């Protein structure tokens, strides 16, 4: 293998693939990036065995072939080369890869490319194209609620599925929950997605996908097989295994007859929660909401660090209510709400509460209260 | 095969299997008889690990000829005055021991009543009784058991080595001796006298059996409620062991083993003890005989209380209260460590090896002196935790140190105060137990001067404990907040575990865990302690269930809640390396004096150690 490639193009591609590579791994080949020189240029592949990212870089291929090199090392080297420089990658012998640019010359240890694992995804059952903004919307609105607790592994990702609406159109939903709160986002389903099975996309892949979407312009091509999903984003292909488990029947935990409705200014509410929770020292301390018709009082009572109280004007219909929530959960949901007004729907102090954007019925958030 | 009645000899052998398990159980039965007979002196002789001879001699009330003939019969006893098992005040009551032993060994008893002029002897061999005949003996009783298990060869095969059986017998005797400090105990084998304990105070007996160090690093505790009283001694949290092998439980003077005891003790010491360490305790429970059932186990190793939950909480609360009161003390083998660490830097110091013989003599000398007035902090001989290589020099130094230990009594304090005043001018802060801060060294330790010496404080460890105690107060005042689960979690357990968890649902709810029944062998978790965040609910419930079955306390849950506080405290306390001003150091010392359990950090390590003037003088050979 012998190729010359432009530094900036290679750096961008390496930036994408190297974030898949775990810093510490017990399988040496997994810390390497696979480089394959072919007619179309240089193809870079990195994997952690659950997820794979492949990206092509325009390159001048003098001699075809394949090699591997430590991903983080290669990325650091390329990053430190001067902007706009050309570099050449070659393989003097089987055990080494040479990176040469101007007067710099690096020799890196290489592992045989045949050992590089292949995350081959079989024949897809469903293929569709989804706009970048839609996919980003799904992920951004739900990712905060993904569970990181590993015993309930089926909650460690975002659940995507489609359903038929009452008007006959097909919608796609993204749902995430950690058992304490739940986030659900809904958009019209892309053509070709109807009837796809419900899938759970793991957290790491979701976060990686979001990074790739940042700079993307064209629609994302999605292909789904029984155990994997593949996203093609502007020349970068991300393939990930799906979480093999059953997502809980989340519809049951979204209350439908919560009749106590509170409307409050989103920003003022978030700022007030943030302020009063300053005096809670212990992790997970509750903020109490005392709600009357035109008055919402937020309070925290911490016997040692003092107490805090803040009053907000609001609009509320229903019996006066006192209810406690984890301050962090309130803030995380409030951060998702873009319109000026947040709507709360309560049942009682021990039951799930709904929070939603007053102008946007595409999202719904459910939060379990805290009790002292 | 037709059903037939078993012959008497076989019945006795079967019964013997329950009571006489090994030589140590023979010792237990015979010595208990001696104690019930009011003996002031009990001697046990062991030959060949108890196989060829076990002999117990006492100076108790003795037996008449008629008694002697009846005593070896099954279900014959003098210890139940009416025909009820409700009020048992003697150690024995079943009337089985002698008959059982006689069924499996060659038994000979020589006994003489105090007022009688002759002794009588009776022999029984494998269940066959001979007529009593006159013999010579001072008042009291001698029971000799020869060729134990000769009649049951199967049991003989399962005996362990002579050494192991002797050690087991010694353990049994020590337990009995702890409960009866007023009785002299001797234990002799063909090779040597294993121990010889003179009658004396309870403290002296404890010192003889658990070691002087235990008593000096222990606190006494006592509590009473609804007819039950507990009292005893517990070691300071910083004076712990790797095994729970020094935990003695006595119920109305009867040594008892209790599976729950070590769990209870650990619960009482939770958050002041290093992980994997166990305190030493001597625990006496006293109650009216009808409140406890001792007829549970053939060898009476276990007992049952009428109100077990009450007894458990009484024990835990008594220990906790004492730890909170005494937990500012620390135990550290300072004396052992100083010379060991400084050998090379102190060229004038006597070489430990050369000094050993001298030190031995001195420590014997010291043992004769009354050491009761010693300051608790300093007189701790090295514990097993330190490498054996250091043991010699430590022993040497400990011996030297002990000689002048009585100087640490109030008279010694005055001398120390004078010296302190002369050197620095009396400072108000010196009147405090932890003294006035002088300096910080290596950004980590605070050196303070007290009336009678210097105190070295580990600033991080000390502050960590102070922060933890503040957080605990906060939590106690605010209650434990619970996070509801959007999707309640079903936890599959076995039926016993589920029942245990549900039976304690109220107690668990107070700790933030709300559970409901969910069919047989499963529970539904509705709410979890908010402080635990996203925890492994199923794992937590299973651990809690195991704890509840073992000792009725949700130890796992409490430990996890405490761990959250401890981690927070660790991250929010003054670190090593942080420069402190004199005012800050003094403030820390005063706060330590106010804070309960401040003698050890959250991980059970000591927060401070003390060197008295006497210690310093010894180091410099001024003493």
pLDDT of residue B347 exceeding 60, the answer is: no
In a domain, B345, yes or no: no
pLDDT of residue B363 exceeding 50, the answer is: no
In a domain, B271, yes or no: yes
Tell me the per-residue pLDDT of A274-316, one tens digit each, with 9 for 90 and over.
999 888 766 567 899 999 988 999 998 877 678 899 999 999 9
d(CA A134, CA A186): 10
- Helix (H) or strand (E) holding A310, with range, is strand A306-313
In a domain, B335, yes or no: no
At B35, which CATH number?
3.30.565.10
Tell me the per-residue pLDDT of B241-279, one tens digit each, with 9 for 90 and over.
888 888 999 988 888 887 777 778 888 888 788 778 889
Place of tokens 């830097």: B345
d(CA A22, CA A33): 11
Do residues A112 and A74 make contact, with C-beta atoms less than 8 angstroms apart?
Answer: no
Expressed as residue numbers, the domain containing B54 is 8-197
Do residues B581 and B588 make contact, with C-beta atoms less than 8 angstroms apart?
Answer: no
Task: Output the pLDDT for position B157.
Answer: 82
* Domain A126-251 -> CATH class: alpha beta
Which two three-digit tokens encode residue B9?
């000899």
CB crowding A292-329: b at 16 or more within 10 Å, else e: eeeebbbbbbbeebeebebebebebebeebebbbbbbb
Report the residue of A283, A326, A355 to disrupt the B interface, i.e. the one with the largest count of B CBs within 10 Å: A283
Neighbouring CB atoms inside 10 A of B198's CB total 12
Residues B316, B367 share a domain = no
Q: Which among A281, A284, A371 is the nearest to B484, CB-wise?
A: A371
Which two three-digit tokens encode residue A99?
């990176």
**Three-state DSSP class for residue B230:** strand
- Cross-sheet strand order for the sheet of B522-529: A306-313, A295-302, A286-291, A321-326, A370-371, B482-492, B522-529, B514-517
Least confident span in B17-31, B36-50, B343-357, B489-503? B343-357
Tell me the per-residue pLDDT of B111-126, one tens digit each, with 9 for 90 and over.
999 888 889 999 988 7
In a domain, B206, yes or no: no
Which B positions 554-573 lie with beta carbon below 8 A of chain A?
Answer: 564-565, 568
Tell me the per-residue pLDDT of A90-118, one tens digit each, with 9 for 90 and over.
988 888 999 999 999 999 999 999 999 98
Q: A369 and B471 in contact by Cβ < 8 A?
A: no
Do residues B406 and B365 make contact, with C-beta atoms less than 8 angstroms apart?
Answer: no
Confidence of residue A372 (pLDDT cuts 50, 70, 90): confident
- Cross-sheet strand order for the sheet of B254-256: B218-225, B228-235, B281-287, B247-251, B254-256
Q: B474 and A281 in contact by Cβ < 8 A?
A: yes
Handedness of CA B30, B31, B33, B39 (dihedral sign): positive
Interval A18-26 mean pLDDT = 87
- Please check whether the domain covering A2-115 is classified as CATH 3.40.50.620: no
Distance (Å) from the C-alpha of residue B591 to the closest C-alpha of chain A?
16
Q: B478 and A253 in contact by Cβ < 8 A?
A: no
In a domain, B342, yes or no: no
Is residue A189 less than 8 Å (CB to CB) from chain B?
no
Report the residue of B481, B491, B512, B528 to disrupt the A interface, i.e. the one with the largest count of A CBs within 10 Å: B481
Do residues B29 and B97 make contact, with C-beta atoms less than 8 angstroms apart?
Answer: yes
Task: Output the pLDDT for position B88.
Answer: 66
d(CA A13, CA A57): 7
At B596, which CATH number?
3.30.1540.20
Rounded to the nearest 5°, which phi and psi values hold at A161?
-155, 165
Q: How many CA atoms lie within 13 A of B87 on its CB side?
A: 4
d(CA B536, CA B551): 23
Residues B494, B416 share a domain = no
Could you tell me whether strands A199-202 and A181-188 are parallel, antiparallel, or unpaired per DSSP bridges? unpaired
Task: Output the pLDDT for position A59.
Answer: 92
Interval A46-69 mean pLDDT = 92
Residues B31, B113 share a domain = yes
**Three-state DSSP class for residue A313:** strand
Interval B507-518 mean pLDDT = 89
In a domain, B135, yes or no: yes
Q: Nearest to residue B138, comparing CAs of B114, B172, B155?
A: B114
Handedness of CA B71, B93, B113, B31 (dihedral sign): positive
Q: How many CA atoms lie within 13 A of A365 on its CB side?
A: 27
Q: Nearest to residue A370, comparing CAs of A307, A287, A262?
A: A287
Task: Output the pLDDT for position B152.
Answer: 80
The beta strand positions in B226-308, using DSSP E, are: 228-235, 247-251, 254-256, 281-287, 292-293, 304-305
Residues facing B492 on adjacent strands: B522
Distance (Å) from the C-alpha of residue A355 to the closest C-alpha of chain B?
14
Q: Which among A179, A180, A283 is the nearest to B531, CB-wise?
A: A283
Q: Sort out which chain A residues have CB atoms less than 8 A from B469's CB and list them.
A: none
Q: Sort out which chain B residues have CB atoms less than 8 A from A350's CB and list them.
A: 484
In a domain, B463, yes or no: yes
pLDDT of residue B387 exceeding 60, the answer is: no
pLDDT of residue A244 exceeding 80, the answer is: yes
Do residues A149 and B534 make contact, with C-beta atoms less than 8 angstroms apart?
Answer: yes
d(CA B39, CA B248): 23
ipTM: 0.79
d(CA B441, CA B447): 7
Chain B residue with minimum CA distance to A149: B534
Do residues A179 and A152 make contact, with C-beta atoms less than 8 angstroms apart?
Answer: yes
Do residues B593 and B608 make contact, with C-beta atoms less than 8 angstroms apart?
Answer: no
Residues B40, B143 share a domain = yes
At B534, which CATH number?
3.30.1370.100
Task: Output the pLDDT for position B89.
Answer: 67
**Three-state DSSP class for residue B417:** helix
Topology, domain A255-367: DNA Polymerase III; Chain A, domain 2 (3.10.150)
Mean per-residue pLDDT over chain B, rounded: 78
Q: B527 and A371 in contact by Cβ < 8 A?
A: yes
Confidence of residue B94 (pLDDT cuts 50, 70, 90): low
Q: B486 and A366 in contact by Cβ < 8 A?
A: yes
Residues facing A364 on adjacent strands: A184
d(CA B415, CA B411): 7
Is residue B153 less than 8 Å (CB to CB) from chain A?
no
**Three-state DSSP class for residue B331:** coil
- Helix (H) or strand (E) holding B297, with range, is none
**Three-state DSSP class for residue A113:** helix
Residues facing A288 on adjacent strands: A299, A324
Report the residue of A179, A249, A288 to disrupt the B interface, i.e. the one with the largest count of B CBs within 10 Å: A179
Do residues B463 and B597 make contact, with C-beta atoms less than 8 angstroms apart?
Answer: no
Rounded to the nearest 5°, which phi and psi values hold at B321?
-60, -40
Q: A177 and B487 in contact by Cβ < 8 A?
A: yes
Residues B61, B32 share a domain = yes
Which two three-digit tokens encode residue A136?
């980003």
10 Å CB burial of residue B307 (0-12, 13-18, 19+) is: middle
CA A204 vs. chain centroid, Å, equals 7
Confidence of residue B80 (pLDDT cuts 50, 70, 90): low
Task: Output the pLDDT for position B337.
Answer: 38
The beta strand positions in B147-192, using DSSP E, are: 184-189
Fold agreement between A2-115 and A126-251: yes
- Helix (H) or strand (E) holding B306, with range, is none
Query: Domain ranges in chain A?
Result: 2-115, 126-251, 255-367
* 8-state DSSP, B594: H
Q: How many domains does chain B have?
A: 4
Distance (Å) from the C-alpha of residue B476 to the closest C-alpha of chain A?
10
What number of helices (H) and strands (E) belong to chain A? 6, 27
């Amino acid at each position: 293998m012998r190729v010359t490639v432009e530094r900036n193009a290679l750096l961008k591609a390496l930036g994408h693939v190297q974030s898949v590579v775990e810093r510490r791994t017990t399988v040496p080949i997994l810390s390497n990036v696979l480089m394959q020189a072919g007619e179309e240029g240089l193809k870079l592949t990195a994997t952690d065995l659950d997820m794979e990212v492949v990206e092509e870089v325009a390159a001048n291929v003098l001699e075809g072939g394949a090699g591997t090199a430590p991903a983080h090392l290669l990325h650091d080297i390329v990053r430190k080369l001067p902007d706009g420089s050309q570099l050449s990658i070659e393989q003097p012998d089987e055990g080494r890869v040479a990176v040469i640019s101007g007067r710099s010359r690096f020799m890196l240890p290489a592992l045989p490319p045949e050992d590089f694992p292949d995350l081959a995804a079989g024949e897809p059952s469903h293929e569709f194209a989804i706009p970048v903004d839609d996919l980003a919307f799904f992920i951004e609105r739900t990712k905060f609620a993904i569970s990181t607790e590993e015993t309930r592994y089926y909650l460690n990702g975002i659940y995507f599925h489609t359903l038929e609406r009452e008007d006959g159109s097909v919608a796609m939903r993204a749902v995430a929950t950690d058992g304490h709160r739940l986030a659900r986002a809904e958009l019209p389903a892309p053509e070709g997605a109807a009837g796809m099975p419900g899938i759970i996309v793991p957290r790491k892949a979701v976060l990686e996908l979001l990074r790739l979407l940042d700079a993307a312009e064209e629609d994302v091509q999605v292909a789904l097989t029984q155990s994997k999903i593949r996203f093609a984003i502007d020349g970068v292909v991300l393939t990930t295994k799906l979480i093999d488990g059953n997502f809980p029947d989340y519809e049951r935990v979204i209350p439908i007859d919560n009749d106590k409705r509170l409307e409050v200014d989103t920003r003022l509410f978030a700022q007030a929660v943030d302020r009063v929770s300053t005096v809670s020292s212990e992790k997970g301390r509750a903020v109490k909401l005392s709600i009357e018709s035109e008055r919402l009082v937020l309070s925290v009572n911490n016997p040692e660090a003092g107490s805090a109280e803040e009053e907000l004007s609001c609009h509320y219909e229903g019996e006066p209510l006192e209810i406690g929530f984890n301050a962090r959960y309130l803030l995380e949901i409030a951060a998702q709400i873009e319109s000026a007004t947040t709507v709360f729907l309560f049942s009682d102090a021990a039951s799930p509460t709904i929070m939603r954007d007053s102008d946007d019925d595409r999202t719904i958030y459910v939060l379990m209260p805290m009790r002292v | 095969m037709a059903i037939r009645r078993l012959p008497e000899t076989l019945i006795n052998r079967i019964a013997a299997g329950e009571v006489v398990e090994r030589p140590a159980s023979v010792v237990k039965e015979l010595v208990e008889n001696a104690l019930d007979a009011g003996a002031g002196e009990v001697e046990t002789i062991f030959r060949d690990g108890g196989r060829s001879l076990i002999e117990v001699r006492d100076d108790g009330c003795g037996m008449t000829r008629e008694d002697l003939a009846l005593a070896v019969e099954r279900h014959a006893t003098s210890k139940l005055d009416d025909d009820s098992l409700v009020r048992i005040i003697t150690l024995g009551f079943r009337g089985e021991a002698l008959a059982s032993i006689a069924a499996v060994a060659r038994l000979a008893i020589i006994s003489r009543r105090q007022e009688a002029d002759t002794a009588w002897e009776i022999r029984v061999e494998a269940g066959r009784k001979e007529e009593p005949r006159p013999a010579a003996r001072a008042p009291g009783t001698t029971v000799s058991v020869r060729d134990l298990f000769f009649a049951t060869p199967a049991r003989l095969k399962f005996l362990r080595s002579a050494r192991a059986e002797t050690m087991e017998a010694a353990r049994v005797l020590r337990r009995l001796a702890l409960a009866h400090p007023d009785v002299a105990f001797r234990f002799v084998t063909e090779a040597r006298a294993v121990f010889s304990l003179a009658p004396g105070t309870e403290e002296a007996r404890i010192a003889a059996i658990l070691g002087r160090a235990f008593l000096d690093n222990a606190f006494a505790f006592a509590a009473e409620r609804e007819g039950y009283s507990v009292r005893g001694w517990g070691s300071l949290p910083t004076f712990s062991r790797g095994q729970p092998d020094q935990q003695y439980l006595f119920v109305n003077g009867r040594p008892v083993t209790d599976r729950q005891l070590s769990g209870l003790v650990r619960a009482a010491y939770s958050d002041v003890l290093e992980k994997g360490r166990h305190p030493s305790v001597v625990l006496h429970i006293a109650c009216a005989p009808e409140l406890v059932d001792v007829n549970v186990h053939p060898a009476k190793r276990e007992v049952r209380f009428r109100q077990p939950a009450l007894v458990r909480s009484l024990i835990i609360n008594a220990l906790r209260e004492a730890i909170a009161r005494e937990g500012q003390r620390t135990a550290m083998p300072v004396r052992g460590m100083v010379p060991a660490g400084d050998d090379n830097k102190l060229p004038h110091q006597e070489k430990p090896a050369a000094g050993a013989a001298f030190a031995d003599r001195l420590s014997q000398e010291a043992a004769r002196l009354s050491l009761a007035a010693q300051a608790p902090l300093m007189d701790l001989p090295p514990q097993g935790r330190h490498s054996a290589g250091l043991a010699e020099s430590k022993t040497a130094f400990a011996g030297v140190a002990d000689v002048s230990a009585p100087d640490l009594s109030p008279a010694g304090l005055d001398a120390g105060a004078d010296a302190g005043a002369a050197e620095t001018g009396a400072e108000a802060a010196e009147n405090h137990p932890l003294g006035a801060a002088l300096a910080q060294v290596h950004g980590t330790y605070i050196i303070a001067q007290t009336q009678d010496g210097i105190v070295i404080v580990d600033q991080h460890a000390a502050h960590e404990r102070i922060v933890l105690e503040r957080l605990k107060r906060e939590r106690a005042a605010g209650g434990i907040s619970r996070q509801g689960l959007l999707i309640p979690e079903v936890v599959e357990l076995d039926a016993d575990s589920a029942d245990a968890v549900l039976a304690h649902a109220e107690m668990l709810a107070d700790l933030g865990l709300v559970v409901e029944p969910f069919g047989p062998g499963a529970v539904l978790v509705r709410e979890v302690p908010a402080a635990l965040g996203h925890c492994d609910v199923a794992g937590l419930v299973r651990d809690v269930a195991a704890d509840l079955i073992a000792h009725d306390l949700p130890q796992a849950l409490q430990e996890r809640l405490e761990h959250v506080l401890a981690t927070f405290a660790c991250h929010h306390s003054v670190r090593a390396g942080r420069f402190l001003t004199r005012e800050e150091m003094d403030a820390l010392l005063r706060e330590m004096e106010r804070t309960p359990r401040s003698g050890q950090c959250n991980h059970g390590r000591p927060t401070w150690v003390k060197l008295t003037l006497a210690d310093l003088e010894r180091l410099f050979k001024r003493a």
